[in-house]
Chain A
Amino acid sequence: MMHTADLLKVFAQHRGDAIVISGRGGRHWIGLSDTTLDVPLGDPAMGGHSGFGLGLALAQPDKRVVLFDSEGDILMSMGQLATIAEQAPANFYHFILDNEVYATTGGQPVPNAKRMDYATIARGAGYPRAFNFSELDAFSAELPGILKAPGPVFVALKVWPEVENTPIGQRVRWRKRSSDQVVRDLREALGAG
């Protein structure tokens, strides 16, 4: 198991000029980078981050698009894997943070948490490359090669859960910009605004 904060620090060293949709790693990523090419959306509607990443990758084929998704989101929208594999954007790097639970609702296990192999599922859906990592050393060693080769690629990362039990309304808000502002900033940065 890895800590999300640690693996994001490793990723940050290799990010380059990629657009980063920080997804479920957002609260840690914002301390590492918060430019207009960082896309912290919070959770607009669960299960949709992979679709957003696909759309962005298709719209910006010359930029690498990196997404930190989660296993709960994948389970909710597994059909997105088929659409992503069919469109096959070579600039899309799809990471999932698999903590085996619904952490933001108190840590209840996701269905079949211990037996799911998301990399195998992604490969079966048609992703040409898919990986599993549970140790930081192995992830650190392989990451540069993963990011240098074309996508779409799927990388499943086993992470320790960071369970939240306080009522949502009492939680500390980590985002500095609203979701629509993030999109406006990104469009402007890409010359689309």
Chain B
Amino acid sequence: MADAGALSPETVMRQMKQNGVTDVVWLPDSETNWLFLLMQADPDLRLVGVTREGHACSISAGLFAGGRKPMMLIQNTGMMESGDSIRGWLMGLKVPIVLMVGYRGYTRHGVNTDTAATYTERFLMAFGIPFFLVENDADSDRISVAFKEAEKIQGPVVVLVGDEYHGFNR
């Protein structure tokens, strides 16, 4: 098991189930391998792997248009690469969706050496996308808050996973 101060993949799966996620559109990153193994073992969850994170936006929009409840699972680097797809396919089409985003470079104290972390929250603020930080299991209720917020605003909401190299990467 992950240590008490980490965010466990089982906790994230529970949150996904509680919120009715049917499909996870995703691209691997250093935070999510253990979560991937759990998701893969779940016959009720469809995984759609993409080759570039922006593709996840249009696929998710199509899933939503057809009545499914997708979630995106990507890294902050890919999120920034996806700017125009987030704008056009998620915000433009008013798709209520949670993006779980691995927060590469996050150090909590704000002094980091990775510009991926430097620009992550600035990117979200520039786009006006609500976001919540989750670092460990005690924070996990914020994932449900994010789902509620996405429904409320009918748009994308981000959960930043600030737990690189811990619970998701045992």
Contact = CB atoms under 8 A, between A and B. Distances in A.
A45 B65 contact: no
A44 B92 contact: yes
A55 B67 contact: no
B46 interface: yes
Interface residues of B, number: 33
A59 B49 contact: no
Interface string A50-93: 11111111111000000000000000010110110011000000
A61 to B, nearest CB: 9
Contacts of A191: 67
B144 to A, nearest CB: 22
Contacts of A192: 65-67
Interface of B: 23, 25, 46, 48-52, 54-68, 70, 84-85, 87-89, 92-95
A190 interface: yes
B45 to A, nearest CB: 13
A130 to B, nearest CB: 19
A52 B55 CA distance: 9
Contact of A51 (B59, B87, B95): B59
B151 to A, nearest CB: 14
30 contacts: A44-B92, A45-B87, A46-B84, A47-B85, A48-B57, A51-B62, A52-B61, A55-B48, A55-B58, A55-B61, A56-B66, A58-B46, A58-B48, A58-B63, A59-B64, A60-B66, A77-B52, A77-B54, A77-B55, A79-B51, A80-B50, A80-B51, A82-B51, A83-B49, A83-B55, A180-B94, A183-B61, A183-B94, A183-B95, A190-B67
